[in-house]
Amino acid sequence: MSKNARAYISDRFVLELDGQYVGTLQTVEGGALKSAGVVEDKIGKEATVLRYPARPQFDDVTIQVGMSMAPRFWKWIAASFNYDAERRDGSIVALDFDNNERWRRNFYGALISEVGFPALDGAAKEPAYMTVKFAVERMEVQKASGKHPAEQEAKEEWNKQRLWLPSNFSFKIDKFSGGKKLPNAKIDAFTVKQNIITVPIGRELIPRKEPGRVEFPQLQVTVLERDAQPWLAWYKRFVRDGEHVPGEETNGHIEYLKRDTSTPLLILDIYNLGILEVSPLKHDSKQSQIQKIRVSMYCERMELKPGPGTVG
């Protein structure tokens, strides 16, 4: 390293997919090439066990994003949710205060492996971000090259990514909300996972990766006890009375809204919801608190759609 090389600060990180800018990132980690473990080789009666590194592979890359990413990014995730996983090539670029590239890491054959949705709470006041993890078949560092056009491609997008609050959302259940937003509902954080299968091929040093089954999570929703009656009636029919038939399942919808609370940034449609449990939260006589209940539900699939408030 040259003695004249100076340290620098990068607080702007850009994601590109197939050569196109799709938004800024809050955090980036992973992507290191490392051995998958240690292989032990025991030979005959010899006491010594030979050890050597197993086939190397790249770690998954984990990023945190706001809800204002470009539609191209959300469509990549949506394809995985629909069992139609798409491989993408792209780059993660670090910029300095003058939008000069400081480093660029190119990845190839990326597949979505996890999407973590933040908790939603009408009382929240701090910004929240979505966590996305993707597996890569190959990753390499490329020499940085001059100015990056991100600022021109999406003016003020740096700040847009920080504007979404977890209190700006709409939650609906088709069965008994009549298409109206359920008031005072709180939704715990949840994660959609796609299994990634590692496939060693002949003498290839680095294994290939293939998409596996998608695992959709259970939803944990907290509502006021005064609003519990529809949930209790549904639970009675579906679980206690054993009427768990397709007609008793329902669909749900979560909209992640801009601060004007009318323009959706992201829409998550949840299909074939079935109720599993209705339970009161802990009561404490030493604290004055509003009485609430927690509802647990399963679902069979989810669909993700970018709303009109996204960038790009």
Quick check: is 131 in a domain?
A: yes
pLDDT at 9: 55
| Total tally of structural domains belonging to the chain | 1
pLDDT at 97: 76
Quick check: is 302 in a domain?
A: yes
Kindly state the tokens that stand for 149. Answer: 């056009």
pLDDT at 11: 65
Q: Please give the residue range of the domain that contains residue 80.
A: 12-34+55-306
Quick check: is 48 in a domain?
A: no
Quick check: is 45 in a domain?
A: no
pLDDT at 85: 93
Quick check: is 49 in a domain?
A: no
Quick check: is 311 in a domain?
A: no
Q: What is the pLDDT tens value at each position of the chain, 312 positions in all?
A: 455 455 555 568 889 999 888 888 889 998 887 767 777 888 777 778 888 777 777 889 999 998 878 888 999 999 999 999 999 999 999 888 777 888 899 999 999 999 999 999 988 888 889 999 999 998 888 877 777 776 555 555 555 555 678 998 999 999 876 667 887 889 999 999 999 998 888 777 788 889 999 999 999 999 988 888 989 999 998 888 876 666 789 999 999 988 777 788 889 999 999 999 999 877 666 666 678 899 999 999 999 998 775 654
Quick check: is 172 in a domain?
A: yes
pTM of the model: 0.85
Quick check: is 2 in a domain?
A: no
